[in-house]
Amino acid sequence: MKVAIYCRLSEEDRNKQFETDDSESIQNQKSMLIQYAMDRQWEIYNIYSDDDYTGADRNRPSFNQLLNDAENHKFDIILCKTQSRFTRELELVEKYIHGVFPLWHIRFISIVDNADTEIRGNKKSRQINGLVNEWYLEDMSENIKSVLTNRRKNGFHIGAFALYGYRKDPDQKGHLLIDEKAAEVVREVFYLFSQGYGKTAIARILNDRGIPNPTEYKRIHGLRYQQPKAKNSTLWKYFAISAMLVNEIYIGNMVQGRYGSVSYKTKKNKPLPKEQWIRVENTHEPLIDRELWERVQTLVKQKAKPFISGAIGLFAKKARCMNCGYTMRSSKNRGKHYLQCSNRHVAKDACIGSFISVKVLEQTILNELRRIMKEYLDKDELVQKVTFENCLNEKIKKSEKEVTVYGKKIVEYAKGIKELYFDKVKGLISDDEFFEYSRDFRRDKEWAEALLKEAEEQLDTLIVKRESTDDRRHIIDEHTNITSLNREIIEKLIDCVYVGKRAKETKQIPLEIHWNF
């Protein structure tokens, strides 16, 4: 019999000299399990070990390798110290120990709590162990949450990293000290904004001077901060400046608890309403004085532009920079609308700075559309010779595909709601979690139903049009007599437009129009 040994330790490890070493607890587990296997003359196939991982973590590398090897039946037995070393989730106990392991002909044994899938009548004790472990996870999560909430209410900083401009106090846990080097940059940002500089202009000033952004600053100073894998991720951007200017931590107030966990079973977080944030005043030394802070907040409110419901730019998400590929952002100056690369003012080398007037882009597209029609189409000849069945058939196939897709989505969302209900009945999720998750499923289901209805109506219209022989002139006119563009036409005709930088010699702006036809 071949046996796979699995070990896990979740506590913070303090008895390792190096991170790559095994902890003393892991070594003890291995010794116990190896001896157990040798006493029974089992062949040890492999030892799988996850150090510093919780029993609720489904992304444990050795755990997932163990499951993969079990499915391929590379061994006959899985041996653990306790069932909780394998998992603390009742759902995984049911799925693997009671479900797929028997199908894979894999025997599961945990020594201390006497769990053994080969022994009849042992299943109930394994289920009880799983239930106790599940309660342990939930209680531990609530206890940790309670402790963290209490510390936040007492003004202690909770987090792996201090906000840019501060550093953790090595002598007092949860207290922040000013990091003078970064603090100089923060003060300059506030001062420049108070003097009328825009957020993008401030970002450009910092980038031109080679000042690393907060993410890069952490990395340079040896902090184990995961850097986003994005183009120009080391540069200051508009949003970093925007967030900095309204953060109360810079005036000595600790504002925390902006996000809450979705469930103790996942690391995903959700934003919380502002009234649920934990705000404690005067917890640390302020970096920005009150007068400057109030002046900046007034300017922020003055410059905030109200969102006009339903207003979508003519080329929203359609125009892209030819150099860096970023979506171009709309702006307005003296009543005229423009499109510019979102990296245009970030730094000198960030982008070539694509820029074009919306009116110029619209007219250029119209001219190109007319040129295509003039070169390739003759109305009278088209009316007499060209049939539209192929075009309509393609559209009908597309609509039929959409109807099928949305129909399947509706079935999937309904199934998701049903499965959530069973999870609630089994006690795997709470009532609040059920209502929260099911609300999202119902919203998505309603959205899919609306799209399905729209696709079905579109399909009916196309079928009627295919059957008609008197609307050829109308179809041609619809596509050739366009005198101005609107959002519906843009969506219908254009996939995207790449905009280059104006040539100095010719004053022409390079364009690449990617049509939908």
Which letter, b or e, does each residue of 121-157 get, where b requires 16 or more Cβ atoms within 10 Å of its Cβ?
Answer: eeeeebeebbeebbeebbeeeeeeeeeeeebbeebbb
498 vs 325: CA distance, rounded Å: 8
**CA atoms 434, 440, 443, 445: torsion sign:** negative
Please state the three-class secondary structure of 204-242 as a single string: HHHHHCCCCCHHHHHHHCCCCCCCCCCCCCCCCCHHHHH
Over the stretch 201-221, which tens digit does the pLDDT of each residue have? 888 889 888 899 998 888 888
Question: Checking phi first, is residue 41 left (phi over 0); if not, alpha (psi -120 to 50) or beta?
Answer: left
Q: Which residues contact 465 (CB under 8 A, 6 or more apart)?
A: 392, 471, 475
* pLDDT at residue 152, as a whole number: 81
pLDDT averaged over every residue in the chain:
78
Q: Which CATH class is domain 166-303?
A: alpha beta
> Domain 2-150 has what CATH class?
alpha beta
DSSP 71-117: HTTS-SEEEESSHHHH-S-HHHIIIIIIIIHHHTT-EEEETTTTEET
391 CB-side CA count, 13 A: 9
270 neighbors 260 (Cβ within 8 angstroms): yes
- pLDDT of 66 reads 94
**Is the distance from CB of 412 to CB of 448 less than 8 angstroms?**
no
Compute CA 195 distance to the chain's CA centroid, rounded to the nearest angstrom: 36
pLDDT digits (tens, 9 = 90+) for 368-384: 888 777 765 555 554 44
Mean pLDDT of 34-52: 89
Q: What is the pLDDT of residues 148-178, one digit of tens each?
A: 778 888 888 888 788 999 999 999 888 999 9
What do you get for the CA distance between the two ends of the chain, in Å?
64
The mean pLDDT value for 181-195 works out to 91
Beta carbons within 8 Å of 222's beta carbon, 6+ residues apart: none
Look at residues 357, 364, 362 and name the one whose alpha carbon lies nearest to residue 340.
357
For residue 245, give the 3-state DSSP assignment: helix
- What 8-state DSSP symbol labels residue 327? B
Q: Which residue has the higher pLDDT, 9 or 268?
A: 9
Whether 256 has a pLDDT exceeding 60, the answer reads yes
Q: What is the pTM of this model?
A: 0.44
Q: In the chain, where are the structural domains located?
A: 2-150, 166-303, 308-401+441-517
Helix (H) or strand (E) holding 494, with range, is strand 494-499
Does residue 243 have a pLDDT over 80? yes
